[in-house]
């Protein structure tokens, strides 16, 4: 299983990441971190209440103010948006030094999440370029991996990532690695989707408790292809860190093999013809507000 850590906010970066580094070190697990390094505009996400079906329900069910904190929910509205990367510039190197993968989770998480499908390619290229600039200034190299905020990707966003030389992306929800097909083209950038539901989606859904989520993940790991679990620095590195530590401990006991997405991508790309093509569609998922980019059934046809 790969642990994909999305870091969306200043709070998640400063508080959640160090907590997760400790838990991962305790269990000897290497993960893949994806950082949004630009402005924390989390407060603007509140405007989704008026736009997105299911957002208010999710806010209430996951008790979002407790998860994210009152301050975070004001950034970009009544409080200015702080720059995430600048708040702890030493932290990305610390993540890498512990043996984890470090990739990008966009520049302005809220802008990408809420507006990607309306952004022209030049604006998407600017977002990725700004993120790369910050990444390079902090780590002394360019990022090779990208995970789209809110699992939002488009034909132009994939073209931008491919043109900027990324090795692979993890932009969608799905079952297996693939080449994403869009209306006019097949992306030549390998996609490794998130395969498992997330804790914040299932929490409170049909009475789901954190321990029920752990059991569900353990059951899913017992068979089938390698799985990708997305966690959030603000959630599993925040109020649910003990449950996350318990999950890793149980996985270890069950003999689950952990790998980093970048290593898996390099292995997969040794046999490009063996990777299937699959259509990308925009769908609703249980427990998640709005729509996300999803993999359809693979075509089993090499590109």
Between 6 and 191, name the residue whose CB sits nearer to Zn ion. Answer: 6
Between 149 and 238, name the residue whose CB sits nearer to Zn ion. Answer: 149
Out of 149, 177, 237, 290, the residue judged to bind Zn ion by CB under 5 A: 149
Between 174 and 298, name the residue whose CB sits nearer to Zn ion. Answer: 174
Stretch that binds Zn ion, among 53-61, 147-155, 156-164, 205-213 (CB under 5 A): 147-155
Between 149 and 237, name the residue whose CB sits nearer to Zn ion. Answer: 149
Site string for Zn ion, 6-25 (x = CB under 5 A): x-x-----------------
CB 143 within 8 A of CB 73: no
Least Cβ distance, residue 222 to Zn ion (angstroms): 28
Stretch that binds Zn ion, among 24-32, 149-157, 168-176, 253-261 (CB under 5 A): 149-157
Least Cβ distance, residue 290 to Zn ion (angstroms): 13
Backbone CA torsion sign across 119, 123, 128, 133: negative
Stretch that binds Zn ion, among 2-10, 44-52, 56-64, 275-283 (CB under 5 A): 2-10
Site string for Zn ion, 97-136 (x = CB under 5 A): ----------------------------------------
Between 193 and 298, name the residue whose CB sits nearer to Zn ion. Answer: 193
Cα separation, 147 vs 176, whole angstroms: 16
Stretch that binds Zn ion, among 50-58, 148-156, 221-229, 255-263 (CB under 5 A): 148-156
Least Cβ distance, residue 175 to Zn ion (angstroms): 21
Least Cβ distance, residue 147 to Zn ion (angstroms): 8
Between 149 and 197, name the residue whose CB sits nearer to Zn ion. Answer: 149
Q: Which of residues 225-244 bind Zn ion (CB under 5 A)?
A: none
Backbone CA torsion sign across 30, 174, 298, 256: positive
Stretch that binds Zn ion, among 1-9, 54-62, 122-130, 254-262 (CB under 5 A): 1-9
For 205, other C-beta atoms within 10 Å of its C-beta total: 17
For 26, other C-beta atoms within 10 Å of its C-beta total: 12
Site size with Zn ion, rule: CB under 5 A: 3
Stretch that binds Zn ion, among 5-13, 80-88, 124-132, 160-168 (CB under 5 A): 5-13
Which residues are near Zn ion by CB under 5 A?
A: 6, 8, 149
């Amino acid at each position: 299983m790969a642990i994909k850590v999305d870091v969306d906010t200043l709070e998640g970066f400063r508080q959640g990441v160090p907590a997760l580094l400790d838990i991962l070190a305790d269990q000897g697990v290497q993960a893949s971190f994806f950082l949004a390094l630009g402005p924390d505009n989390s407060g603007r996400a509140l405007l989704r209440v008026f736009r997105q079906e299911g957002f208010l329900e999710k806010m209430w069910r996951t008790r979002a103010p407790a998860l994210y904190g009152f301050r975070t929910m004001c950034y970009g509205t009544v409080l200015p948006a702080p720059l995430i990367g600048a708040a702890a510039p030493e932290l990305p190197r610390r993540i890498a030094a512990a043996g984890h993968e470090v990739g990008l989770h966009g520049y302005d998480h809220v802008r990408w999440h809420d507006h990607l499908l309306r952004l022209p390619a030049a604006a998407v290229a600017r977002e990725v370029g700004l993120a790369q600039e910050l990444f390079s200034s902090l780590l002394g190299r360019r990022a090779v991996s990208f995970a789209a905020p809110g699992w939002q990707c488009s034909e132009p966003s994939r073209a931008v990532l491919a043109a900027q030389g990324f090795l692979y992306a993890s932009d969608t929800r799905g079952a297996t690695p693939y080449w994403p097909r869009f209306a006019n083209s097949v992306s030549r950038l390998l996609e490794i989707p998130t395969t498992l539901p997330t804790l914040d989606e299932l929490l409170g859904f049909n009475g789901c408790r954190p321990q029920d989520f752990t059991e569900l993940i353990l059951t899913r790991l017992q068979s089938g292809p390698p799985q990708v679990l997305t966690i959030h620095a603000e959630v599993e590195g925040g109020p649910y860190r003990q449950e996350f530590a318990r999950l890793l401990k149980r996985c270890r006991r069950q003999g689950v093999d952990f790998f980093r997405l970048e290593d898996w991508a390099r292995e997969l790309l040794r046999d490009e013809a063996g990777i299937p093509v699959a259509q990308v569609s925009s769908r609703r998922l249980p427990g998640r507000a709005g729509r996300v980019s999803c993999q359809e059934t693979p075509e089993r046809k090499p590109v």
